[in-house]
Structure 1
Amino acid sequence: MTILGIESSCDETAAAVYTGGGMRSNVIASQSVHEQYGGVVPELASRAHHKTIWRTVQQSLEEANVEIEEVDAIAVTQGPGLMGSLLVGLCFAKGLSLSKDIPLVGVNHMDAHIYANFIDEEPEYPFVALTVSGGHTQLVHVSGPFEHELLGETRDDAAGEAFDKIGKILGLPYPGGPVIDERSKNGDPRFHDFPQAMLDNNFEFSFSGLKTSVKYFLEDQENREQFLADHLDDVCASVSYAITEVLVKKLDNAIKNTSVDSVVLAGGVSANSMLRRKAKKLANDVECDLYIPKLAYCTDNAAMIAITGAMMAERNMYADMELKPFASLSNRK
């Protein structure tokens, strides 16, 4: 099958084409307008999607050397995400589906992060997925295709959200997560012992207290500007250490409680170099197979939507024109 994937859940307008021979294209149009605000502005995001979605889809088809008439199904992000952004992608996909008589598939964005691991490899079921992004942090037991059991999730900030908010406190450009990761490579992760919350709870996460701790830690310095000039890399490394330690310790608990032999990382934070390194060590210690997507498939992209759509189409999991977006997993319909 030839699948056109469309992703517009947040601030990335993306389109990809997947065939039985593999991923043929993966185009992402990023929105730089949000950098000046230090975070994504929903109204600006949806406007930017309107401007770029058609040419992004066209580019993905051209790079794949595929005509729209050759597409067997259109897979589009249904949620979770920003409602305005989701509506742009969903309405565009519906219009294309109707005008070209192409079946439609509605994809759960969080499922897609997990199945991004299937683009180049094929993890063996059952497995535990650690899904970490700007909006979600979850541990999921996957017993088969689209057979998921949520083991635990964050009670407040997601890991990626914590990285970005702390980046803002440190005066780093948005998004702060990748910058903190890069600065951490030259810092001392033991420079300061930031809190690791909820370690006594098997699968639940909490990261909101960490950003408060960083804020107070900086306020305690006599000369904040000079302190950061001298120790920014060390602070970034210490923050990364605290977040990734919690993630890996919870993952270790999940592996032991489910007795799986395979583990996958998913979501934008799976690109974090310290997390990847610790996950590899954990997998080696407990003798588990570890799967991590290529960096291009970690953050929001349409390739993960296309591969998930292909898996759903194979199982006749099609949608109709009643398909509606959902902003969060709790209000999914």
Structure 2
Amino acid sequence: MPVILAIESSCDETSAAVYADGKMLSNIIANQTIHEAYGGVVPELASRVHQQNIIPAVQQAISNAKVSKNDIDAVAFTRGPGLLGSLLVGVSFAKAFALAQNLPLIEVNHMQAHILAHFIDEPKPTFPFLCLTVSGGHTQIVLVKDYFDMEVIGHTQDDAAGEAMDKTSKILGLPYPGGPLIDKYARQGNPNAYQFPEPQIPGYNFSFSGLKTAILYFIQKNEAATPGFVQNNMADICASVEKRIVTILLNKLTKAALDYGIKDVALAGGVSANTGLRQGLQELGNKYNWNTFVPKMEYCTDNAAMIAIAGYYKFLQKDFTDQHVAPLARMPF
């Protein structure tokens, strides 16, 4: 089996992984704490920190995998979508490493890789399956017919679910990143304490901009009427917001699964780490007799392991790119 070195740098995580012999031998993720002071990712700072982190991350991945650079058969990397400056660091390093070692290059679509993370470990879904892919930048329902035969049948028409959580956390005065904190507070709160609207969007598409506005007005109104309202009711607010976002996502996923008659249903992307969403999918699986799949936590957020598994399947197809490849901020399936 080939030894694949993979590199991921689409946003603010610098990650490197090595896959060989049907196993993920290493998966190193270097997070960037510099953005906490700004309440969100600053693209210019992200690209600079990637430059600092990428060589140590790759060295550690190779070392942890107990291989040498001469054992590597191909270099897989995220071409897009993502922040252009961040992508440029990873793409440039991958091209330089491959050129120096005379290795083939494999470009990977970041969103496809999130879905293919389900093939790193057992159990694995059976084709065709549906995957709800949810992150800070994307919300999609994807019909997965084969490893690289995927059709987006539903998508957000404005904001992503992860962005709605991040903006809510900012409105509530929580530090960045806010998604995990909303999850934490929601576990302690009453999800039925407050009611937020569910957008009536036809088909399998989503919309979260109206929900964000409703949450903002709710907070402003109640905080003006009762100073300290947010601080005193943080857990209930987070639980109620999380419940609404999760029901929006799972209602559309349920409609798609029933319409298509598909029994294998999966989650992917950073928001798939959310406890409420994971539990909600499991409950639906029990109700409809679905086979449900959620990656391990380390494979939910941006990581190079998912790039490695996508690169492995592309290697088998001899689907290589050349040294002229450039990063793409927008990269459709």
Structure 1 SS opposite 2:218: helix
Structure 2 SS opposite 1:312: helix
Please give the alpha-carbon distance, in whole angstroms, between the structure 2 residues aligned to 1:245 and 1:272.
13
8 Å CA contact retained: 1:218, 1:224? no
Query: Once the two structures are superposed, what CA deviation does each residue of 1:262-288 show, in whole Å capped at 9, x if it has no partner?
Result: 111000000000000110111121111
Please give the alpha-carbon distance, in whole angstroms, between the structure 2 residues aligned to 1:157 and 1:38.
18
TM norm structure 1: 0.97
Identity %: 51
Counterpart AA for 1:258: Y
Q: Which residue of 2 aligns with 1:101?
A: 102
Q: Which residue of 1 aligns with 2:229?
A: 227
Deviation at 1:224, TM superposition (A): 5.5
Structure 1 SS opposite 2:210: helix
8 Å CA contact retained: 2:116, 2:147? no
Deviation at 1:329, TM superposition (A): 3.1
Matches within 5 A, 1:52-201: 52-121=53-122, 122-198=124-200, 200-201=201-202
Q: Which residue of 1 aligns with 2:302?
A: 300
Q: Which residue of 2 aligns with 1:318?
A: 320
8 Å CA contact retained: 2:78, 2:108? yes
8 Å CA contact retained: 2:142, 2:152? yes
Counterpart AA for 1:48: V
Q: Which residue of 2 aligns with 1:43?
A: 44
Q: Which residue of 1 aligns with 2:205?
A: 204
Structure 2 SS opposite 1:53: helix
Query: Once the two structures are superposed, what CA deviation does each residue of 1:242-276 show, in whole Å capped at 9, x if it has no partner?
Result: 10001000100110121112111000000000000
Counterpart AA for 1:195: P
Indicate yes or no: 2:276 matched with 1:274. Answer: yes
**Runs ≥4 residues deviating over 6 A:** none
Please give the alpha-carbon distance, in whole angstroms, between the structure 2 residues aligned to 1:329 and 1:74.
19
8 Å CA contact retained: 2:198, 2:248? yes
Counterpart AA for 1:204: N
Please give the alpha-carbon distance, in whole angstroms, between the structure 2 residues aligned to 1:229 and 1:114.
37
- Pair 1:51–1:194, CA change in 2 (3 A): same
Query: Which 5+ residue runs of structure 2 have no aligned equivalent?
Result: none
Q: How many residues align?
A: 330
8 Å CA contact retained: 1:9, 1:86? yes
Deviation at 1:144, TM superposition (A): 1.2
Q: Which residue of 2 aligns with 1:329?
A: 331
Aligned partner (choices 288, 291, 294) of residue 290 of structure 2 = 288
CA RMSD of aligned residues (A): 1.1
Please give the alpha-carbon distance, in whole angstroms, between the structure 1 residues aligned to 2:256 and 2:296.
23
Which region of structure 1 is more displaced relative to structure 2, 214-223 or 103-112?
214-223
Q: Which residue of 1 aligns with 2:266?
A: 264
- Pair 1:61–1:242, CA change in 2 (3 A): same
TM norm structure 2: 0.97
Please give the alpha-carbon distance, in whole angstroms, between the structure 2 residues aligned to 1:313 and 1:133.
27
Please give the alpha-carbon distance, in whole angstroms, between the structure 2 residues aligned to 1:257 and 1:315.
32
Please give the alpha-carbon distance, in whole angstroms, between the structure 1 residues aligned to 2:208 and 2:172.
17
Q: Which residue of 2 aligns with 1:251?
A: 253
Query: Once the two structures are superposed, what CA deviation does each residue of 1:142-163 show, in whole Å capped at 9, x if it has no partner?
Result: 1112111110100111011110
Query: Once the two structures are superposed, what CA deviation does each residue of 1:148-194 show, in whole Å capped at 9, x if it has no partner?
Result: 11101001110111100110000001011110011000001111111
8 Å CA contact retained: 2:98, 2:105? yes
8 Å CA contact retained: 2:79, 2:328? yes
Query: Which 5+ residue runs of structure 1 have no aligned equivalent?
Result: none
Deviation at 1:61, TM superposition (A): 0.4
Structure 1 SS opposite 2:17: strand
Please give the alpha-carbon distance, in whole angstroms, between the structure 2 residues aligned to 1:59 and 1:202.
46
Counterpart AA for 1:6: I
Please give the alpha-carbon distance, in whole angstroms, between the structure 1 residues aligned to 2:192 and 2:14.
39
